[in-house]
């Protein structure tokens, strides 16, 4: 086949040879630059989504911080040690703020937020096997601050960004250390096993943003 082609090629006039050569260079160049451009756009889109997700994660962290330092002490003072109200829970306020953000802005519809934990308070936050692996990696590599990639989930492909989650404020332990110190009402609702026994500065889970891939491809087209 190759011999046949080279015989045929050798018998061509110089002008024809040149035309074929230019054609090969042209097609090769177009293919190469097409692949390179697709990769650059893909990289740019991933970067854009990652920085969007990071901004959201940081904002939600500030919401938690505000709740824990301003709202919880204020409300707790009137509730006493036994009573419990979800408005005193930092994770509750960050979830509510994120839900409101998604409701009011179409551009956030494709983001999902999860605080995936090994021993969560709310069973909805239980890490699945894929997420457990990420938590274990964060635990083993203390310097790892972020991971991102793709995962299939409910028959869709998602781009995800995850950051480790550890308790580094002793005031959180009032509800997350032992059932004896936690508000009695809270233990009645969540049980004495869930979200209990957490330790300071230990990676317990991670905050995760998932971004639906179909929309991710649309972002590519819009760039």
Q: What is the Cα–Cα distance from 73 to 89, expressed in whole angstroms?
A: 11
Q: What is the Cα–Cα distance from 145 to 162, expressed in whole angstroms?
A: 9
Q: Which is nearer to ligand HEC, 42 or 122 (CB)?
A: 122
Nearest residue to 45 (alpha-carbon basis) of 212, 163, 206: 212
Least distance to ligand HEC, CB of residue 26, Å: 56
Q: Which is nearer to ligand HEC, 70 or 156 (CB)?
A: 70
Residue 190 within binding range of ligand HEC, rule CB under 6 A: yes
Which of the ranges 17-25, 40-48, 89-97, 127-135 carries the binding residues for ligand HEC, by CB under 6 A? 89-97
Q: Which is nearer to ligand HEC, 41 or 112 (CB)?
A: 112
Q: What is the Cα–Cα distance from 187 to 143, expressed in whole angstroms?
A: 34
| CB-based burial label for 210 (10 Å; 0-12, 13-18, 19+) | buried
Q: Determine the Cα angle at 153 with ends 149 and 157, to 5°.
A: 55
> CA dist 29 to 24, 40, 44, 128, 144, Å?
8, 16, 22, 45, 39
Of the candidate residues 56, 60, 63, 89, the single one contacting ligand HEC (CB under 6 A): 89
Q: What is the Cα–Cα distance from 179 to 93, expressed in whole angstroms?
A: 22
Task: Convert residues 144-173 into a mask of x (bound to ligand HEC by CB under 6 A) and - (unbound).
Answer: ---------------------x-x-x--x-
Residue 134 within binding range of ligand HEC, rule CB under 6 A: no
Residue 96 within binding range of ligand HEC, rule CB under 6 A: no
Where on the chain is the footprint of ligand HEC (CB under 6 A)? 64, 68, 72, 88-92, 115, 117, 120-122, 125, 165, 167, 169, 172, 174-176, 186, 190, 195
């Amino acid at each position: 086949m190759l011999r046949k082609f080279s015989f045929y090629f050798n018998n061509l006039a110089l002008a024809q040879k040149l035309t074929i050569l230019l054609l090969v260079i042209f097609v090769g160049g177009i293919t190469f630059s097409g692949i390179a451009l697709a990769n650059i756009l893909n990289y740019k889109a991933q970067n854009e989504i990652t920085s969007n997700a990071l901004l959201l994660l940081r904002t939600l962290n500030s919401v938690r911080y505000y709740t824990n330092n301003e709202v919880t002490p204020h409300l707790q003072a009137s509730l006493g040690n036994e009573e419990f109200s979800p408005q005193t829970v930092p994770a509750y306020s960050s979830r509510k703020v994120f839900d409101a953000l998604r409701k009011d802005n179409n551009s956030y519809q494709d983001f999902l937020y999860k605080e995936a934990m090994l021993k969560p308070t709310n069973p909805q936050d239980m890490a699945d096997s894929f997420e457990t692996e990420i938590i274990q990696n964060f635990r083993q590599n203390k310097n790892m601050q972020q991971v991102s990639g793709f995962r299939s989930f409910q028959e869709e492909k998602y781009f995800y960004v995850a950051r480790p989650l550890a308790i580094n404020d002793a005031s959180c332990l009032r509800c997350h250390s032992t059932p004896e110190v936690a508000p009695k009402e809270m233990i009645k609702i969540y049980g004495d096993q869930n979200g209990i026994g957490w330790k300071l500065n230990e990676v317990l889970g991670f905050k995760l943003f998932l971004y639906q891939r179909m929309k991710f491809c649309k972002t590519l087209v819009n760039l």
